[in-house]
Amino acid sequence: MADEQAKEIDRLTKRMDLLDQRLDNIDTMVTAVAERIMSQPISLVVTCPHCRKNIEVALIGSGKLTK
């Protein structure tokens, strides 16, 4: 019984580590996009899965980056 609990705790620890790594990767991507938006315009083109039309979203930052 104690051996099974130790294995389960080990599995949960590994899953939490993987989740932490994924969240770090998402944070890095969001930060990179935010920095790019602040420095220059960015345009996203998404295709609607229902009507297959392209939807373009333009983002323009108005603030200045501080170093």
As for how many domains the chain has, the answer is 1
- Whether residue 64 is contained in a domain is answered as no
Q: What is the pLDDT of residue 13?
A: 96
Residue 62: pLDDT band by 50, 70, 90 thresholds?
low
Q: What range defines the domain where residue 48 resides?
A: 2-59
Residue written as token pair 């099974």: 4
Can you count the helices (H) and strands (E) in the chain?
1, 2
Considering the chain, what percentage of its residues have pLDDT values greater than 70? Answer: 88
Q: What is the pLDDT of residue 2?
A: 85
Global pTM exceeds 0.85: no
- Whether residue 65 is contained in a domain is answered as no
Stretch 22-33: mean pLDDT = 91
